[in-house]
Amino acid sequence: MIDAVLRAFRLPDVRRKILFTFAMLAIYRLTAHIPLPGVNVAGLQDLFANNQLLGLLDLFSGGSLTTFSVAALGVYPYITASIVMQILSPLIPSLQELQKEGEAGRTKSAQYTRMITVPLAMLQGYAQATILARQGIISNFGLFDRTTFLPTLSLVLALTTGTMFLVWLGELITEKGIGNGVSMLIFAGIVSRLPSSIGQSVAAGVNWLALGVIAFLGILMVLAIVYINEGQRRIQVQYARRVRGNRVYGGGTTYIPLRVNSAGMIPLIFAMSIMLIPGTIASYFQGSDNATISGISSFIVGFFNPGNRFQGFTSLGYWLLYFALVVGFTYFYTAVVFQQQNLPETLQKQGGLIPGRRAGRETALYLNRVLNRITLLGALFLGVVAILPFLAGQLTNAQVTTTLSSTGILIVVGVVLDTMKQLESQLMMRNYEGFIK
């Protein structure tokens, strides 16, 4: 593998892409350390240290939340906008037509996603500012009153601008670098924050037996992630021979690789984004003069924050809901991706035939049935990965959400595998031996 990396750096265009990716990630890390004014950083760090969910979000943001930098929102408003587009695409005919227009359709769909990201980022930025103001973290001014309208507006716009800047960096990485840009930014945030998070936990005093159990579970999880992500069901396809003049085209046998986990880590990110929405909306009504509304809002905020004062059944309900959302999003995203590929129609146009199945509708039903069956294993695996911090906490009686995030490990391993495959394809196109032998 080391020799393959060295060969990749000897290729000027591949070396240029790798260095460009590192440069964009370096700019992202610099942006994550530009703080916004009027924030009590010490109080903010104490708040995140005593809250498991906020600590997990800070891990994904690369520490930009504890400093409340311009990149505090990360790319999660963009991910939420992507969820909205994925949900609306099967429901709106015009969006379905965009998916069939090739590169132009994808460009237009990406533009719509960015347009949706802006109001979502402003809403989320205002929600975070409201929560911090009520905790006394932002103490220099109120929020949108007569005297502080402009400072508050500048705060929300700064957070929104930071998010759009990160989205732009991610798109540059996707276009001119190596790997998926948004995934690479999340990967960089997790990797940069994880060592300091582990160091703080060790310095604060950790049960070494529990830490050993967690490390063992982490190793097993990495092996399981690689095994599941690389698992696939191969569907045999035969192509008929076609004679044109004196030449014979086609013929032969190949296969369609249906992956066990076609959705990758996207369902976990989707589910996490959805789990943030109810608590964010409810936080607006916690200060209501109506005792009923205030009580319901406080319960919702507590329910969607398992590290808060709610424990027992409420915490279990949170993780069960998280598990169900991950499983549901796995099936949903897999179905959307499979529908966009339109394999049955493509096979029929190219003269491909699955043995024992008629072309067209019967082939589509067969592929859907096989895909649903193998996706069950992938969906359950992702669901277990999502709730593993809760299970590990029950086994070791240790708070490990901020120290070891199974979701973070899945994202890291998934991004590394995808990046290696892209480098592999770059080397193979130039007749070089790649990473995978």
| Last residue in a domain, options 205, 220, 248 | 205
3-state DSSP assignment of residue 9: helix
User: 409 lies in a domain?
Assistant: no
For 177-298, list the strands marked E by DSSP. 232-239, 241-244, 247-250, 253-259
* Co-location of 214 and 197 in the same domain: no
Q: Are residues 143 and 22 in the same domain?
A: yes
Quick one: how far is CA 268 from the chain centroid? 6
Query: Is 427 domain-assigned?
Result: no
Helices (H), 135-207: 149-176, 181-204
Looking at the fold, whether 376 and 399 belong to one and the same domain comes out as yes
Q: 320 and 338, same structural domain?
A: yes
Nearest to 81 by CA among 269, 363, 326: 269
Residue 161 pLDDT: 92
Question: Of the residues 205, 235, 263, which one is the last residue of a structural domain?
Answer: 205
Q: How many CB atoms lie within 10 A of CB 141?
A: 16
Strand partners, 236: 255
If phi > 0 it is left, if psi is from -120 to 50 it is alpha, else beta; for residue 43 that is alpha
Residue 61 shares a structural domain with residue 181: yes
Kindly state whether residues 59 and 36 are assigned to the same domain.
yes
pLDDT on residue 332: 86
Domain boundary among 156, 184, 205: 205
Measured between alpha carbons, how far is 19 from 24 in angstroms, rounded to an integer? 9
Same domain, 220 and 313: yes
Residue 271 lies in a domain: yes
Convert the pLDDT of each residue in 231-276 to its tens digit.
888 888 877 766 666 665 656 778 888 888 888 777 877 787 777 7
Joined together, the tokens standing for residue 92 give 């709106």
Find where tokens 């209501």 sit: 288
Q: What is the pTM of this model?
A: 0.73
**Is 420 within a domain?**
no
In a domain, 419, yes or no: no
Nearest Cα to Cα of residue 233 among 371, 332, 382, 381: 371
Task: Write the CATH number for 356.
Answer: 1.10.3370.10
Spatial contact of 426 and 14, defined as CB atoms under 8 Å apart: yes
Q: Structural domain tally of the chain?
A: 2
Cα distance between residue 106 and residue 199, in whole Å: 43
Residue 131, φ and ψ in degrees, nearest 5: -60, -45
Closest CA to 407 of 227, 190, 223: 190
Residue 411 lies in a domain: no
Same domain, 273 and 289: yes
Q: Is 61 inside a domain boundary?
A: yes
* Residue numbers of the domain that contains 312: 206-404
- Give the span between the Cα atoms of 80 and 116, in whole angstroms: 9
Q: Could you tell me if 149 and 237 lie in one domain? A: no
Strand-strand pairing, 247-250 and 241-244? antiparallel
The reply to whether 196 and 260 lie within a common domain is no
Which residues, given as ranges, of the chain have pLDDT below 50?
308-313, 399-404, 434, 436-437
Q: Rounded to whole angstroms, how far apart are CA atoms 233 and 223?
A: 19
Q: What is the spatial distance between Cα 333 and Cα 313, in angstroms, rounded to a whole number?
A: 30
The pLDDT value recorded for residue 432 is 53
Same-domain check for residues 143 and 230: no
What Cα–Cα distance (Å) separates residue 231 from each residue in 222, 224, 259, 260, 365?
A: 14, 10, 6, 6, 22
400 CB contacts (<8 Å, ≥6 apart)? 210, 214, 389, 392, 393
- Could you tell me if residue 417 is inside a domain? no
Which residues have a Cβ under 8 Å from the Cβ of 292 and sit 6 or more positions away? none
CA atoms within 13 A on the CB side of 357: 21
Three-state secondary structure call for residue 246: coil
Residue 23: the pLDDT is 92
pLDDT of residue 27: 92
Environment class of residue 425 by beta-carbon count within 10 Å: exposed (0-12), middle (13-18) or buried (19+)? Answer: exposed
Output the six-digit token pair for 347. Answer: 């096979």
The reply to whether 250 and 201 lie within a common domain is no
